Amino acid sequence: MPAMKFFLAACLLLALVNPAKAATDTLSFNDADRISIVGNALADRMQHDGWLETLIQAHFPDRHLTIRNLGFAGDELSVLGTLHEIIQTADDRRRPFE
């Protein structure tokens, strides 16, 4: 499993710093942008390790980015509906019981 994480991190790092691609496509964020990770099992497993969020925050330290992982296993976009409903569902799950 650590080898897979290293491989994925290396691929992401190469994608971010590839000089041939950097000349044409750049990843940029404005100050206080919000990034949402949406998906099912892969995104859900990414919640247990913060390596992607750490890599993005380290690359853009002055942007004050907010990153939320909204993925959960078994997610099907056709079942949940719109992105607004997905975010509302994630917010409801994070709220403490009243």
Residue 86 predicted with pLDDT over 80? no
Domain extent, residue 85, equals 24-94
> What integer is the mean pLDDT of 63-86?
73
Residue 58: inside a domain: yes
Structural domain total, the chain = 1
H or E element at residue 7? helix 2-17
Question: 81 in a domain, yes or no?
Answer: yes
Tell whether pTM > 0.85.
Answer: no
For residue 21, the tally of other CB atoms under 10 A from its CB is 13
Query: Is residue 65 in some structural domain?
Result: yes
Name 57's Cβ contacts closer than 8 Å, sequence gap at least 6.
65, 67
Evaluate if residue 68 carries a pLDDT over 70.
yes
- Give a yes or no: residue 14 inside a domain: no
pLDDT at 90: 62
Interval 6-32: pLDDT, tens: 777 776 666 666 555 555 567 788 998
